[in-house]
Amino acid sequence: MNVRYRVELSQTERTELTELLSGGKHAARRLKRAQILLAADGGASDEAIATNVGVGSSTVYRTKRRFVLGNLEAALSEEPRPGANRKLSGKEEALLVATACSSPPAGRARWTLELLSGELVRLTAHESVSRETVRRRLAENDLKPWRKDMWCIPQVDADYVARMEDVLDLYSEAPDPERPVVCFDESPIQLIGEVRRPIPPEPGQIERYDCEYKRNGTANLFVFLDVNRPWRKVKVTERRAAEDFAVCMRDLTDVHYPGAERIRVVLDNLSTHSAGALYQTFPADEARRVLRRLEFHYVPKHASWLNMVEIEIGVLASQCLDRRIESYTRLVAETAAWEKRRNAECARINWMFTTQKARAKMGRAYPKPTLKSDQNQRVKTSVPRY
């Protein structure tokens, strides 16, 4: 059987299979067939190939046969398989899609596969429709009615565009030590303690921890990020009131950037993020002294993605906070260690979105000017006489 189908790859085919296995996202069966062909071309026996690749000897035989009788693509691809006719006709599939996109029955929050299969039985002549039939037809139309995504739909008006381009222009400016650009935001975090001691991992056994936990309160993280140099600062506080924001701004001017002439701060529209918070916290002369060296640049509403520090907070959450931290003291120590290591690595955010790209991608959503920018246009005015 194996003598008849002998695999001899050309250099081009060998290169193609090597590149297929070197990277990229491909089906597991396709990768295994590529391994079979390369091993067969190298002279390995069917038994050795089946053992090393982890397939049956019949798979090795069929792959070699399809290559010899066909070509490389035929050997890597699936053979057409006979199957039963589709149970739902085109009209019935359209009815299924329309039903899945409609409101669910009274008393139900959303459509499920069972509800949809029952509805098809009621609306068509079929005596039964399996949930798997419903799932496959919905998958072909990229529909999952039992899932919902929550997201904010921003209103791209003139104010949105003005704030967006203001922030993007800040990011594109050349670094100026006298006028640094600092992104600022905050993130709440729960302090979660263990009720029972976790069991550490060991060979053949992953770490195990109890599903029950103890809630020890909350804390807040104020995060600073310099746009033009690899520096960030994480400050842990017990709350995020206006007074805490004011203290962070004074730290920014007096501790972190004492020699800067003016600090441009990119932040969101939270009610506490205002100049009034400093007057609420400090005497008037102290608040005025700090504000003289600050310049606030607010991102548009529902556009926190424009604040570069949001990316840094995501990195902090995945690298440091993705676990149970039981106390305020430990949270301070862990975030300080993360901050020190991250700064030592000179990690930076590679921001690619510019004003030009925003106009190219979002041009249709930009507000239409009411007055044409025609220099030759004359405006007729009337001056009242007194």
Rounded Cα distance between 19 and 72, Å, is 14
Model pLDDT for residues 186-197, shown as the tens digit of each residue: 999 999 999 888
Rounded Cα distance between 291 and 206, Å, is 52
Contacts of 40 (CB under 8 A, 6+ apart): 7, 46, 49, 60, 64
Whole-prediction pTM value?
Answer: 0.65
Contacts of 78 (CB under 8 A, 6+ apart): 29
State whether residue 89 is helix, strand or coil. Answer: coil
What average pLDDT does the structure give for the chain?
Answer: 89
* Token digits of residue 30: 């396709």
Model pLDDT for residues 337-365, shown as the tens digit of each residue: 999 999 999 999 999 999 999 999 888 88
Residue 381 scores a pLDDT above 50: no
Instruction: Provide the 10 A C-beta neighbour count for residue 31.
Output: 16
Between 201-205, 251-255, 292-296, 331-335, the lowest mean confidence (pLDDT) is in 201-205
Model pLDDT for residues 203-251, shown as the tens digit of each residue: 888 888 888 889 999 999 999 999 999 999 999 999 999 999 999 999 9
Residue 386 scores a pLDDT above 50: no
